[in-house]
Amino acid sequence: MQLIQQNPDIHAYLASDEAIDHWHPLVQETADALWSATGDAYSYAKAAFEFVRDTIPHSADSGDLRVSWRASDVIATRNGICYAKSHALVALLRAQGIPAGLCYQLLTDDHSCSDSCSGGAGACPGGTNAVIHGLVALRLPGRERWSRVDPRGNKPGVDAQFSLDTERLAFPVRPELGEIDHPELYAVPHPATLKALRHSADRPELWRNLPTAL
């Protein structure tokens, strides 16, 4: 899909902030290690994506009750939901000079449950109501368009891959159910998602705080 930069300045998609803290030594060390094993922007971006997708479990899958939101904490604790894992991937990409930003989907029914709920730990937030899902877009050197990728983490029924030309996301939207791909590309986390992460003491509280709209 055609993404719309919320900030027209490409340098905004390389900046650091409290959540995307790519200046942090752990983020820098992780980025340097991944770069040394790859050596070019495409290979690095793919390796960073797979690192976040595969080595940092989504807390709904792992059962981890902790809530992380800073990129450095996500990498340190190996834990996070979709928003937090997106912060980590954006930080790793920016750490090596690759513009990256945050984008969102409105999902419902089994899609939202797959992303957010832990199964036996409680009901899906809002039942069949919509829940915001977070993912990442990046723009490699020499490319004129942004490409979306989803580092949520794979499991049965979810098979997200690093693909720049043909999207292979965790949850393709179903317009007939009211699901939406939001076209805005954010340089910083959306306030609604960041508030949910920062104001939740544990994962059960986070499920109750998940935003249902942007």
Alpha carbons 120 and 107: distance in angstroms, whole number:
20
Is 187 in contact with 6 (CB distance < 8 Å)? yes
Strand partners, 82: none
Average pLDDT over residues 150-167: 94
Residue range 74-94, pLDDT digits in tens: 999 999 999 999 999 999 999
User: Checking DSSP bridges between strand 100-107 and strand 184-185, what pairing results, if any?
Assistant: unpaired
**Is the pLDDT reported for residue 121 higher than 50?**
no
- Sign, CA dihedral 196-198-203-205, equals negative
Instruction: Tell me what pLDDT residue 110 has.
Output: 59
**Is the pLDDT reported for residue 114 higher than 60?**
no
Alpha carbons 163 and 167: distance in angstroms, whole number:
6
Token pair for 68: 């992380």
Residue range 37-84, pLDDT digits in tens: 998 999 999 999 999 999 999 999 999 999 999 999 999 999 999 999
